[in-house]
A and B are shown apart, each in its own frame.
Chain A
Amino acid sequence: MNITTFIIVSVIKTALVLFVLLTAVAYTVWLERKVVGHMQNRWGPTRVGPFGLLQPAADGVKFLFKEDLTPPHVFKPLYIAAPMIAVIFAVTSIAVIPFGNWLNVGNFHTPFQITDVNIGLLVVLGITSLGVYGVALSGWSSNSKYSLLGGLRASAQMVSYEIALGLSLVGVLILAGTFSLRGIVEAQAGHFWGFIPNWFIFRGGQIVAFFIYLTAAYAETNRIPFDLPEAETELVAGYHTEYSAMKFAMFFMAEYANMITVACLASLLFLGGWGGPLFGPSWLQQLLPLVWFVLRVFVFLFIYIWVRGTLPRFRYDQLMAFGWKFLLPLAIANLMVTAIVVVLK
């Protein structure tokens, strides 16, 4: 592949992935409103389009045309930069996430992935942890007490849970022996005992790691029961109290993009990525992995929403105690056990 084709293909892929991601973000919001609505004896959106399917578009238009207020007491450069930081890092991390095998059209071969970095997992973790700057800076630059408290909570929470999150993934890395997300998925191919898929969630006690990852990921993305930074009933709206219109929507998009990234990672690392039965003609065999992958991501998003409809919220000190005194030791123990098992084998 020469450099021109490479650039053209990359640009097309990036545009396509970005489009799909942003659409997915919009429809995750729709899904959440719909599912939580039905859990709570409500209908969710029904007015705009069939089943309210055009609601995300209507919301987008509304956000764009709302008056963009900038309170006089904010520190402007950071106040404007903060939502951008949040949304940029949230969207960037999708670049290294693979969605399926290879696309083969005649002589042309390309992976379903923007770029296959051999340290893909580290890149995702690094980029998502930069997202905390958006939150912390918005809390600080808003110059409002509620925002400040929200920003502080968010920074402390995200930094704390990142450790447990990172450690929970090391077990998988030991088993897979690679940082490349594609490599990790390939390591999960096949079955053991004839029928159980070779997913990491079923191997070497990684189900513990999966639990830690899921819990820490909820905290990372500020979702119930860990949604303290934006705890509406305590801090009004937390770090984005002073934001309106598209700036607010950016935080919103960042949160949902992060949810999707987390769901993608969980599918890739623990549930065998895009593995699944392949059948039919060759074009179908190329596209089926995408379907299996999207299904897994959907399941994770559904669990996210389900949890939101069920659980109350932790208190700040309880959240910290849970992260440092329970999740972290558990993650370390899991890591050591995994390491010993791998060495003895």
Chain B
Amino acid sequence: MAHLTPTPALEPGQDKTMILNMGPQHPSTHGVLRLLLEIDGETVVRMMPDIGFLHTGIEKTCEAKFYHQVVPLTDRIDYLCPMTNNLCYALAVEKLLGLEIPPKAQWLRVMLNELTRINSHLVWLGTHAMDIGAMTVFLYCFREREDVLRLFEAVSGQRMMTSYFRIGGVALEPPLDFFDRVRKFADAFPSKVDEYEGLLTGNPIWVMRTKGVATISAEDALALGASGPTLRGSGVDFDLRRDMPYSGYENFKFKVPVRQDGDVFARYMCRVAELRESIGIVKQALDGMPSGPVKANAPKVVLPDREKMKTEMEALIYHFKIVTEGFAVPEGEVYQAVESPRGEMGYYVVSDGSAKPYRVHMRSACLANMQTLPKMCEGRLLADVVAAIGSIDIVLGEIDR
């Protein structure tokens, strides 16, 4: 297997250092990240991340699927924010097709995206706190995450791999009591965030473990391509939802939390503030939810309703055609980026005019964010590495794809 990239090796530089292989099986490398650490006592001298242990070949698989068959694959890239990936892919293909999405579908997408952000941030907060030793926060977070997952289940039939968004809208009308359930959750949630903060934000040990730890300057973060809370924690005010709005985000009012310190605590505060902002967006979406269809009027792209298939000849034919041979997408290429919970998630889709994409490439936010890791950790203690990994919130499925 000589043609493959050899496993990165790290040779000890001085006599008194030791190479520590952290991962891929390690409780706090969040999946299967492998870190090679050269340590002097407990101080990290050098760090080399090694990825690829969760390679799924999804990018390549996409090329063998019809455009609509790619949607379920996008769920599995970043399993903590499936809807964000659904949305990004759908937006990219819709751009190629020149489809106009009805307002209700757009608002639904925004609402579900913010719920996804909450879901993802809750997992992050729980695991990050557990890495630093606060075990209870983890279970508190998962308690609320369960509520979000139940909402997902209600709307899409699935808890995690939702595949709810379609090219041209969303899969189904949400069930009747869905919006009431979301509102109930949205009303209850801010007090739960207070609960997490009560356990962490003012806790002297938490502050000692996070303040001034694993800092990265705004210049470094930008140079390494970081985005999302990792970038905003370093004082760069950039959020795609506000700066390059998509899917109707321009209709919503929300603050973009920015902290100047660039340390673990700053990133923590950014994300916790985002939890509150996201629930605000969800409430706005509920209040202003337009009526109308949830799918675009494009019979060649969007699957017809089951009812129509039983009464209309054309609907049956379109259904048969879309399912068996897909739909052709005009030649061209497009890059669409969305603000995922972790940063700039981008889909680059190339079409050769056929029913299958010529190339689908994902711009992974985590991959870029992870590049900041050695900069954060070198010269610091082993325990800070764990805090730093938690604070950049990586999902290995997205990095390896």
Contact = CB atoms under 8 A, between A and B. Distances in A.
Interface of A: 36, 39-42, 145-146, 149, 224-225, 227-228, 231-234, 236, 308-318
Given A224-B133, A309-B135, A311-B203, 17 more contacts: A39-B136, A40-B135, A41-B140, A145-B18, A149-B42, A227-B133, A233-B133, A234-B385, A234-B386, A236-B26, A236-B27, A309-B136, A312-B133, A312-B206, A313-B209, A314-B208, A316-B383
A314 B200 CA distance: 13
B133 A225 contact: yes
A171 B42 CA distance: 36
A314 B205 contact: yes
A41 B140 CA distance: 8
User: A-B pairs with the 5 shortest C-beta distances?
Assistant: A313-B133, A40-B139, A233-B28, A312-B134, A312-B133
Contacts of A40: 135-136, 139-140
B140 A311 contact: no
A311 B209 CA distance: 12
A288 to B, nearest CB: 36
Contacts of A236: 26-27
A315 B135 contact: no
Contacts of A227: 133
Interface of B: 18, 20-21, 26-28, 42, 129-136, 139-140, 143, 199-200, 203, 205-206, 208-209, 381-386
Contact of A313 (B18, B132, B143, B382): B132
A203 B199 CA distance: 33
A225 B27 contact: no
A315 B140 contact: no
B139 A233 contact: no
B234 to A, nearest CB: 22
A28 B18 CA distance: 39
Nearest to A311: B205
Contacts of B384: 315
A232 B130 CA distance: 10
A266 B393 CA distance: 42
A316 B381 contact: yes
Given A149-B382, A233-B133, A312 B205 contact: yes
Contacts of B143: 41
Nearest to A315: B383
A41 B28 contact: no
Contact of B134 (A145, A146, A149, A311): A311
Contact of B27 (A149, A232, A308): A232
Nearest to A145: B20
Nearest to B21: A145
B18 A312 contact: no
Nearest to B207: A312
A234 B208 CA distance: 17
A315 B385 CA distance: 11
A183 to B, nearest CB: 38
B133 A318 contact: no
A53 to B, nearest CB: 23
A312 B264 CA distance: 15
B27 A315 contact: no
A314 B209 contact: yes
Contact of B129 (A39, A232, A312, A314): A312
A36 B134 CA distance: 12
A310 B205 CA distance: 11
Residue in B143, B205, B383 with the greatest tally of chain A CB atoms within 10 Å: B383
A231 B136 contact: no
Contact of A311 (B21, B133, B385, B386): B133
Contacts of B132: 233, 312-313
B133 A231 contact: yes
B172 to A, nearest CB: 32
14 contacts: A40-B135, A224-B133, A227-B133, A231-B383, A233-B27, A233-B130, A233-B131, A234-B385, A310-B199, A311-B205, A312-B129, A313-B132, A315-B208, A315-B209
A146 B208 CA distance: 24
Residue in A39, A149, A308, A315 with the greatest tally of chain B CB atoms within 10 Å: A315
Contacts of A310: 134, 136, 199
A317 B199 contact: no
Contacts of A318: 208-209
Nearest to B29: A233
Contacts of A309: 135-136
Contacts of B133: 224-225, 227, 231, 233, 311-313
B381 A317 contact: yes
A42 B386 CA distance: 26
Nearest to A310: B136
Residue in A36, A228, A313, A314 with the greatest tally of chain B CB atoms within 10 Å: A313
A309 B134 CA distance: 7
A215 B137 CA distance: 23
Contacts of B135: 36, 40, 224, 308-309
A146 B22 CA distance: 9
Given A41-B143, A311-B133, A312-B133, A234 B382 contact: yes
A226 to B, nearest CB: 10
A321 to B, nearest CB: 10
A36 B133 CA distance: 14
B214 to A, nearest CB: 12
A42 B139 CA distance: 8
Given A311-B134, A312-B132, A317-B381, A234 B205 contact: no
Contacts of B385: 234
Contacts of B381: 315-317
A236 B22 CA distance: 9
A312 B209 contact: yes
Contacts of B27: 232-233, 236
A316 B42 contact: yes
Nearest to A42: B139
Contact of B28 (A145, A234, A316): A234
A234 B42 CA distance: 11
A222 to B, nearest CB: 12
Contacts of B386: 233-234
A146 B28 CA distance: 14
Contacts of B140: 40-41
Contacts of A308: 135
B30 to A, nearest CB: 10
B282 to A, nearest CB: 23
A236 B129 CA distance: 16
Contacts of B205: 225, 311-314
B290 to A, nearest CB: 37
A145 B20 CA distance: 7
